[in-house]
């Protein structure tokens, strides 16, 4: 299977993974087609002195040229924990051509607005990012597409992933399913999951 191209931008080298909260349905945390505003993931921000702020979900699309980032979904960090939700399923533009979407969570500095739904330039908010899900991600899987080797065990629809380091000699990491209530955001300088 063809691997997607490596992401050149440092900002696009981020990552995360998830099994569900109480709202989970048999097809994933929001059920078939998603449920408007249903909380999908929650967790904590690691690092003292982190202030409350908006949490955006940046979907990394690297299956074409050029790579890009797509904003879809988000939530709030209240200073103790964050909660993220989605109004439906990811738009096709947020998902890689092989049927896997990887959404990184980013905590924005107080007073910073989250990017509106759609393609956006990560560099425009890079200076406002105070924490990121370096080792976790929201995963979307379209079961009708070929996927990636590591996505085969994941359920169709939404789930969450935790970074799994690549085997010795491998250039790529992968994601394994994890509990969507235990995600962590860490300072942006932390090493990120290299899944592409």
pLDDT band at 76 (very low <50, low <70, confident <90, very high): very high
Contact 58, 9 (CB under 8 A): no
Contact 180, 42 (CB under 8 A): yes
Contact 17, 160 (CB under 8 A): yes
Say yes or no to pLDDT of 28 above 60: no
What single string gives the DSSP state of each residue in 121-159?
A: -GGGTGGGEEEE-TTEEEEEE-TTS---GGGTTSPSEEE
pLDDT score at 25:
31
Residues in the chain: 196
| Whether pTM exceeds 0.85 | no
pLDDT band at 51 (very low <50, low <70, confident <90, very high): confident
pLDDT score at 48:
61
Pairing mode of beta strands 183-185, 38-45: parallel
Q: What is the mean pLDDT of the chain?
A: 80
CA 126, 76, 113, 72 torsion: positive or negative? positive
């Amino acid at each position: 299977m063809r691997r997607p191209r490596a992401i050149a931008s440092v900002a696009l080298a981020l990552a995360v993974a998830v099994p569900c909260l109480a709202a989970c349905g048999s097809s994933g945390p929001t059920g078939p087609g998603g449920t408007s505003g249903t909380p999908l993931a929650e967790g904590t921000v690691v690092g003292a002195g982190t202030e409350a702020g908006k949490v955006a979900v940046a979907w990394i699309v690297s299956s074409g040229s050029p790579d890009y980032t797509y904003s879809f979904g988000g939530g709030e960090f209240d200073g103790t924990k964050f909660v993220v939700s989605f109004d439906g399923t990811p738009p096709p533009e947020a998902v890689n051509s092989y049927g896997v979407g990887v959404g990184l969570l980013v905590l924005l500095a107080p007073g910073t607005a989250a990017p509106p739904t759609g393609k956006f330039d990560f560099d425009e908010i890079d200076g406002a990012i105070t924490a990121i899900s370096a080792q976790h991600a929201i995963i979307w899987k379209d079961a009708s597409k070929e996927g990636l080797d590591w996505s085969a065990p994941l359920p169709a629809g939404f789930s969450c992933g935790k970074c799994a380091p690549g085997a010795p000699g491998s250039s790529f990491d992968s994601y394994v399913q994890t509990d969507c209530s235990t995600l962590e955001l860490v300072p942006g300088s932390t090493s990120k999951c290299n899944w592409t």
